[in-house]
C-alpha cells in the first residue's frame, strides 16, 4: 500500500469511508421511513459495498492493463 504521509494510512481512504458512513446513515433513515430499519440497513450495506468497489475502481491507477495481447484467457 502506498501512503501519502509516513503514517501508513493510504491516500484517498477518507473519501470512501465518509461515503460509506453517509450511505449507512441514509439506510437507517430510509429504514425508519419504511418502518423496517433492518431492511434499510441491509440495502445500505449492499449499496455501500458497491460504492466502495466503484470508488476503488475509479481511483485505480492501472489504466490499460486489461488490454494484454499476450493473455489468451487460459491463465488464472
Tens digit of each residue's pLDDT (9 = 90 or more) over 8-27? 667 667 877 888 888 888 88
CA–CA distance, 43 with 50 (Å, rounded to integer):
11
Of 11, 7, 23, 9, nearest to 59 by C-alpha is 11
Contacts with 5 (C-beta within 8 Å, 6 or more apart), sequence order? none
Q: What percentage of residues in the chain have a pLDDT greater than 70?
A: 61
Average pLDDT over residues 34-51: 87
Average pLDDT over residues 33-46: 89
pLDDT for res 37: 87
Amino acid at each position: 500500500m502506498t501512503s501519502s504521509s509516513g503514517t501508513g494510512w493510504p491516500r484517498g481512504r477518507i473519501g470512501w469511508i465518509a461515503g460509506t458512513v453517509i450511505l449507512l446513515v441514509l439506510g437507517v433513515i430510509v429504514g425508519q421511513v419504511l418502518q423496517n430499519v433492518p431492511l434499510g440497513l441491509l440495502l445500505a450495506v449492499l449499496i455501500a459495498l458497491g460504492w466502495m468497489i466503484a470508488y476503488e475502481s475509479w481511483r485505480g491507477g492501472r489504466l490499460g492493463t486489461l488490454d494484454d495481447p499476450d493473455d489468451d484467457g487460459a491463465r488464472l
